[in-house]
Chains A and B, each alone.
Chain A
Amino acid sequence: MTLFARHALSLSAIALASLSLTACGKKEVPPVAGNEVIITIGHAAPLTGPQAHLGKDNENGAVMAIDELNSRGISIDGKKAKFVLVSEDDQADPKAGTTVAQKFVDRKVNGVIGHLNSGTTIPASRIYSEAGIPQISGSATNPTYTQQGFKTTFRVFANDIHQGQALAQFATQSLKAKTIAIVDDRTAYGQGLADEFKKAAEAAGAKVVAQEFTTDKATDFKAILTKIKASNPDILFFSAMDAQGGPALKHARELGLKATFLIGDGGCTPEFIKLAGNAADGQYCSLPGVPLEKMPGGTVFKDKYQKRYNQQIQLYAPYVYDAVLVMADAMQRANSAEPAKYLPEVGKSQYQGVTAKVVFDAKGDLAAPAVSIYQDKGGNWSYVETVGAAAAAK
């Protein structure tokens, strides 16, 4: 039923977008004004709908980076560089995402930061790749994004492979788990994460004693939990979102299943603790990246952000901030803002950002991404340790 609503929404979005497209065509911005070079950076994220708060947070990060670049007075190719951010709303919808991408290409932006969701980032990346425009995402975690063979795709965030490996490393080394049960919700996210976790856990010598499945709309998990209880695992890895994970943990305890509960970033939310209640105490979750306080420039960035926007950082703002600066850094080294000229330099980045030192591997993923583990202590997720996914990969 929501399908119809979504359809109508995206239709109107396309209509709107095409309207603004024509509007754009009329007032063409001259790329060079006197002794100044205008560098346009496109930013795409959902700025309306249920994820609007996250999209706005990303945009704030990008705006801060752009302002800082302009205040530095960078000159490229002998001309003063003026950075301009063009922010577009992709509504977290793949169809709207490709419309936005086409719009950026038509406008001949110098680079793109985004998108926020994997679902929009992946289809849009093809359009940028064909136009040869470099793209850096600060939040899309699906591994497929950088595995399509495009030269223009980069990411300054750990992907699901890294997260699955890090969780498995934590389970087998820190928790010393020998037997593991896995439940996944059959979504691209849940299944992908579960597969990576399973591979890494088995490689580390643990035994997967039960693998069960649910859906992202399920409310009854007792049948599969009862089955899992029979195999008596040390660890239950629940690869799904908080809305399923929370109640499932509660029901697991009601059934007398005592396994330590582990969930990925989809469950690393206050919502999870609310739904699981007391059962969440002492259980673990993972988030790509490191907590703000552990980032090289985290506290400074946090203060700057709060001073400027008078609110807390939601999630990805520091990563998006770094993404913009990595892109500008590559332009400076290439001494050009032409996509074709500075693209090879993006891959060679050695940039010390606020989140980490950004070095890319051959695919455009971080060479040494970090994933952090958190534990529920008295109703709050508190930091336990950071697991280097690079170590688990070897």
Chain B
Amino acid sequence: MDIFLQQIINGLVLGSIYALVALGYTMVYGILGLINFAHGEVVMIGALVSYSVMMVLVPSGLPPVLLALISVLVAAPVCMALAWAIERYAYRPLRHAPKLTPLISAIGVSILLQNLAMMIWGRGYHAFPDILPAIHFDIGGAQITLLQTVTIGLAAATMGILAWMIQRTSLGQAMRATAENPAIAELMGIPVNRIITLTFIIGAALAALAGLMVGANYSVAHYYMGFMLGLKAFTAAVLGGIGNITGAMLGGLLLGLIESLGAGYIEDLTGGILGSHYQDIFAFLVLIGVLVFRPGGLMGERVSERA
């Protein structure tokens, strides 16, 4: 039983990170109908900037928690500025181009950022410092570290604030209006361009936080880390229903749990025919299953309207 509980904890931590990144994909898709493939790279930049800041500050002897806080306060504006630049120069000029064009532009930005990071931080793997003391809690035989608790808690809090902002504030209202119909929203006096930029920037702030979490939880950062993470988070967004905020959170958590439990139990379930190397297949099988019965994803309805 403790093993089962441990896999649930592993899955929840992984899922919280997926959910944070998936939000960035889903918010942009909801408003622009664009899959921002460069988002995974923004997470990577967030992780590497946090890493660099911490490395610079380690000799100062500040407590690690404070280091993490400072690093995210530096990484978030860097990522936000980056997202602003990406939107302004790679996507906005293509706003009225056929849908495939900005997608290709997004892939281009992704390659550009990867190579840029490779030039700045090199090809090596960087050991991410421990940001929290290694305290373990014992829950029914399963181990949960302080870091994991904080990761899950922080992700939940961030997502809660985001949901509140979108449903309750005038900015959220403007975002929803822009998503509904940009042309009409503009006629109603909503500064559509500024709302779109803000959407990118909010997504980037979440990405910076996710970058720090990935680095801290998996204790490694490198220039290629955004690619697979981005792909998984995108999958989570589709699973939950792309364009839907609650869907992205749900999809992220679900994907994390599926991967974790899949790797842990696939061998027992198939009587040893499939091993843990089918972990990813398991996740994608669930995705296909969901999409066959609910083409819009678990919570999505908007996709069919848009298509």
Contact = CB atoms under 8 A, between A and B. Distances in A.
Contacts of B16: none
A229 interface: yes
A56 interface: no
Contacts of A277: 127, 130, 219
A211 B259 CA distance: 18
Nearest to A212: B276
Contacts of B261: 223
B222 to A, nearest CB: 7
Contacts of A275: 125, 127, 219-220
B7 A246 contact: no
Interface string A246-261: 1100110011100000
B62 interface: no
B124 interface: yes
A222 B228 CA distance: 17
Interface string B1-35: 00100110011011000000000000000000000
A232 B263 CA distance: 17
B114 interface: yes
Nearest to B222: A243
Range of interface residues on B (Cβ < 8 Å): 35 or more
Contact of A213 (B14, B125, B277): B277
Contacts of B220: 219, 243, 246-247, 275
Interface in A226-241: 226-227, 229-230
Contacts of A274: 127
B127 A246 contact: yes
Interface in A258-310: 271, 274-275, 277
A223 B3 contact: no
Contacts of A271: 124-125
Contacts of A215: 277
B276 A217 contact: no
Contacts of B123: 50
A271 B260 CA distance: 27
B213 to A, nearest CB: 12
A16 interface: no
B110 interface: yes
A34 B11 CA distance: 76
B121 interface: no
Contacts of A242: 125
A224 to B, nearest CB: 5
A243 B222 CA distance: 10
Given A227-B264, A275-B125, A186 B277 contact: yes
A254 B145 contact: yes
Contact of B218 (A186, A220, A224, A256): A220
Contacts of A256: 136, 143
Interface in A187-239: 211-215, 217, 219-220, 222-224, 226-227, 229-230
B224 interface: yes
Contacts of B7: 223, 226-227
A226 B10 contact: yes
A157 to B, nearest CB: 25
Contact of B114 (A1, A220, A222, A227): A1
Contacts of A217: 224, 228
Given A212-B275, A229-B3, A275-B127, A222 B260 contact: yes
Contacts of B214: 219
Contact of B110 (A1, A229, A255): A1
Given A222-B10, A243-B222, A247-B220, 12 more contacts: A1-B111, A219-B220, A223-B11, A224-B264, A226-B10, A227-B276, A229-B6, A242-B125, A254-B134, A254-B143, A275-B127, A277-B130
11 contacts: A50-B123, A212-B263, A219-B228, A223-B260, A224-B263, A226-B264, A227-B264, A246-B125, A247-B218, A271-B124, A277-B127
Interface pairs A-B: 9 shortest CB-CB: A213-B277, A223-B263, A222-B10, A219-B218, A243-B125, A223-B260, A226-B6, A230-B3, A212-B276
Interface of A: 1, 50, 186, 211-215, 217, 219-220, 222-224, 226-227, 229-230, 242-243, 246-247, 250-251, 254-256, 271, 274-275, 277
